[in-house]
Amino acid sequence: MSTSDSLQEIVCCMGQPVAGNPTQFMIERAFVAAGLDWRYLTLEVPPENLEDAIRGVRAMGFKGGNFTIPHKVSVIQYLDELSEAAELMGAVNCINRVDDKLVGDNTDGKGFVQSLSSVTSPEGKKFVVLGAGGAARAIAVELGLSGASEITIVNRSPERGQELAALLNERVKVSAKYSPWEGDYAVDEGTDVVINATSIGLGNATARVPLAYDSLQAAMVVADVIFNPPQTVFLTEAGNRGCRTLDGLGMLVNQGVIGFKIWTGVDPDPSVMREALEEYLEL
């Protein structure tokens, strides 16, 4: 498709603050590579203006958008429909206009599962998820929907951990339990995949996730949601014990791939998107 053949459409990202947006850089590169004369705008929207901003999305006929902190939950009330995953998570990070309806989805967990599928299928596997915030919630729900056999949620604050385990058991119908996080967490022997879904390591290459690293076995897959820097202490320790590792860049790229397909109907080139992210993050 040549640029002149493609109708210009606009996709936006709303958050506050939004200084520096690797997703914009990645998606705009993918538009160019796909020959689409589309734009991805990053818009700083304070919470009190979100309703008006969504009215603006409708009025200006934007094709879709991404939502980051602090809008992922509050945006739901202004949308027309939700995907199953977004409804279960109670959070939306991606919207798409279908005719005159705005449909909310959550691509965080789908991006993770797609990244995981490059090394293993989630089906029938036992997972340990460290964290119970937005990322952990999205990942755990999507793993449950993808056939995981057991999910252990390990979180510093018990309330959030217990609430997520209950959601998984009661609504996603996957066997889940909460495990308290005291000192270095030791991973059970039968675990297949261990995921750091906390914010430990964000912007700090020396931050250590409190884990008894000798409990990791070479057969386990170990994944981190942190994408900046992508080589975390968590992944280095796991790699030293022979585990296969997945960095947070893969999740971010795949989340972008899924959003791109939802908005445009076109499969983007993931390698173009990963290269763009690496360039943006100066890796």
Tell me, residue by residue from 16 to 55, as one string, x for binding to ligand NDP by CB under 6 A and - for no binding. Answer: ----------------------------------------
User: Count residues contacting ligand NDP (CB under 6 A)?
Assistant: 23
Of 126, 160, 177, 241, the one binding ligand NDP (CB under 6 A) is 160
Least separation in angstroms between residue 144's CB and ligand NDP is 17
118 binds ligand NDP, rule: CB under 6 A? no
Of 22, 109, 122, 248, the one binding ligand NDP (CB under 6 A) is 248
252 binds ligand NDP, rule: CB under 6 A? yes
The residue sitting closest to ligand NDP, measured at its beta carbon, is 133
Of 134, 144, 259, 268, the one binding ligand NDP (CB under 6 A) is 134
Q: Write out the binding residues for ligand NDP, residues 198-237 only, by CB under 6 A.
A: 198-200, 202, 225-227
Task: Give the DSSP letter of residue 26.
Answer: H
131 binds ligand NDP, rule: CB under 6 A? yes
Of 35-43, 57-65, 129-137, 264-272, the window that binds ligand NDP (rule: CB under 6 A) is: 129-137
**Contacting residues for 236 by C-beta, under 8 A, at least 6 apart:** none
Residue 222 Cα distances to 4, 139, 186, 200, 244, angstroms: 44, 14, 14, 15, 6
Position 147: which residue type? G
125 is catalytic: no
179 binds ligand NDP, rule: CB under 6 A? no
The answer to whether the CB of 260 falls within 8 A of the CB of 268 is: yes
Task: Give the DSSP letter of residue 156.
Answer: S
Least separation in angstroms between residue 115's CB and ligand NDP is 9
Residue 137 parent element (H or E):
helix 134-145
CA distance 283 to 280: 8
156 binds ligand NDP, rule: CB under 6 A? yes
Classified as helix, coil or strand, 197 is: coil
**Contacting residues for 230 by C-beta, under 8 A, at least 6 apart:** 224, 247, 248, 249, 281, 283
The HSE-up count of residue 211 (CA atoms within 13 Å, CB side) is 28
Least separation in angstroms between residue 43's CB and ligand NDP is 19
Q: Which is nearer to ligand NDP, 52 or 279 (CB)?
A: 279
Of 66, 191, 232, 255, the one binding ligand NDP (CB under 6 A) is 255
Q: What is the number of helices (H) and of strands (E) in the chain?
A: 9, 12
Nearest to 134 by CA among 80, 70, 223, 216: 70
Q: Write out the binding residues for ligand NDP, residues 72-111 only, by CB under 6 A.
A: 108, 111
The answer to whether the CB of 209 falls within 8 A of the CB of 233 is: yes
CA distance 203 to 239: 20
Burial of 189 (0-12, 13-18, 19+ CB in 10 A): exposed
Q: Which is nearer to ligand NDP, 9 or 195 (CB)?
A: 195
Q: Which of 63, 72, 110, 125 is catalytic?
A: 72
Least separation in angstroms between residue 156's CB and ligand NDP is 3
**For the chain, what's the residue count?**
283
**Binding positions for ligand NDP, rule: CB under 6 A:** 108, 111, 131-136, 155-157, 160, 198-200, 202, 225-227, 248, 251-252, 255
Residues designated as active site: 72
